[in-house]
Amino acid sequence: MDWLEAMFSIVKAWAWLPLGLIYLGILVTILLENRNVNKSFSYIFLLVFFPFIGLIVFYFFGRDYRKRYRLRIREALKKESTQALARKLEESNQQMLTHLQQQFNGASKAAIMLTNSNNSMTLGGNQVELLINGEQKFPAFFEAIRQARHHIHIEYYIMTFDDVGKKLLDLLKQKSQEGVQIRVVADGVGSKNLRQFCRQFQEYQIPYAVYMPVAFTNLASPNYRNHRKILVVDGKVGFVGGLNLDDRYWNNGKHQLFWRDTHLRIEGPAVNMLQLNFKIAWDHLSTEVLPTDPPFFNYDFNIATESPIAISSSGPISARPTGMDAMVVLIHSAKRYVRITNPYFIPSEELKSALITASLSGVKVELLIPGISDSNLVKYASNSYLQPLLDNGVRIYFYQKGFLHAKTMVIDDMVSMIGTLNTDIRSFYINFEITALVYDQVLALALNSQFDKDLQSSTLIDAEEWKNRPLNTRLLESVCRLFTPIL
């Protein structure tokens, strides 16, 4: 029997060889991809010390799709489309950058950076409206759709088949029957019941496309999702911001949790940049190529200086994390104050350093984040980043009225950022995001006033009390922080 036991031992040892080769291949892949050091270390740590868990986490979160053919195609489309539009709007863009340098000093560097990175153009002559929560966003959103005469373009992360979704479908059916062209792009993971929409779209012959569709959304990787929220009507009116198409965002009594969010309505030349980003997504996902001619794009406007806007679009195929870059540049340009509202605060080293440097240089830096979170892992991980900021004079508040989902920043009563960009690694590097940089004092003051109003429902963190919180709490936060590079 000894020879049987020896044979069994040999077979058992060889059975581990394929798994060992898989692990070795994953480790070599992680090293060769030259990821962010912290991110690489996190995956290697999990795979070495928690092999089974590490393999599962890497499968869902770690596989890098950036080299896949379809993303390279999207990058080529983006470059080609941006250059085509830039040739038509170059004069307006350059005049606006000159105006920003004269009127907004250092804050103009963010718009210049976006131009030099071929990410956006800055266009003036816009009208903007700040929309707080679903109570203001959805009526304006639906009214814009009702007024459509030529086309309606929708690109959203979440579309839910509830009261909001059904209202949207009813309007789209009506406008389709009126002859208005409709195109819809939805993310394949964000919208859990997307099939119900797709059946309706097919029935009413409404063209649609699904970004990276999956068979089972609950088992799908959250990486490389289309997190954008865009509406463009007739190439002249656009919406961008944090609110998805879901009942949760409309505080109408159907959900217990109050949802605090911010959106922006834009009318004017800057809508061209929202349209451009929709065009890139549509050209990538469908067989149709949208032209850069009217009425899809609007060139019939006089060069004006009111409300200059640049649209920052970023994603896993971007050469730079331009959303984060824009934030950092604006923070460094601040002279009096920086106010940031964001639901997921897991800052990069660049952002953390910018906030601390600004605070130490005499700028009043205030950060408003959720006191009630939708993820305990993110909440504890986020909390682990707060002490250095508090120690260097940054004022941090926990919003307590409900869940804070707004993604905004306002600088010196001059410049505002409103969009989909969270202050975490996923938004900076992994998902497709879009944010408006608006150089408008009236909007900045309105956003500043809303920040003051939100503070009435918030608690200020005391630096000393925070430092003395229980050891087990700090240990839990530190453990959760280990996972932040892959959250």
Residue positions annotated with a catalytic role: 227, 229, 234, 405, 407, 412
Vertex 228, ends 150 and 452: CA angle to 5°? 105
Q: For 85-94, give one letter per residue: b (16+ CB within 10 A) or e.
A: beeebeebbe
Rounded to whole angstroms, the Cα distance separating 141 from 146 reads 9
Helix (H), strand (E), coil (C) string for 318-354: CCCCHHHHHHHHHHHHCCCEEEEECCCECCCHHHHHH
Q: For residue 217, give both structure tokens.
A: 């959304």
Alpha-carbon gap, residue 283 to 213, rounded angstroms? 16
Contacts of 264 (CB under 8 A, 6+ apart): 128, 129, 130, 131, 239, 240, 241, 418, 419, 436, 438
Beta bridge partners of 5: none
* Residue type at 225 in one-letter notation: R
Q: Extract the tokens encoding 236.
A: 């002249």
| Rounded Cα distance, 354 and 327, in Å | 9
Alpha helices by DSSP H, listed for 230-321, are 271-285
* C-alpha–C-alpha distance, residues 31 and 48, integer Å: 14
The DSSP secondary-structure symbol of 293 reads S
Q: Read out DSSP for 112-178?
A: HHHHHTTS---B---EEEEEEHHHHHHHHHHHHHHT-SSEEEEEES-B-TTHHHHHHHHHHHHHHHT
Distance CA(337)–CA(334), nearest Å, equals 6
Position of tokens 């600088």? 411
Cβ 452 vs Cβ 337: under 8 Å: no
d(CA 229, CA 3): 66
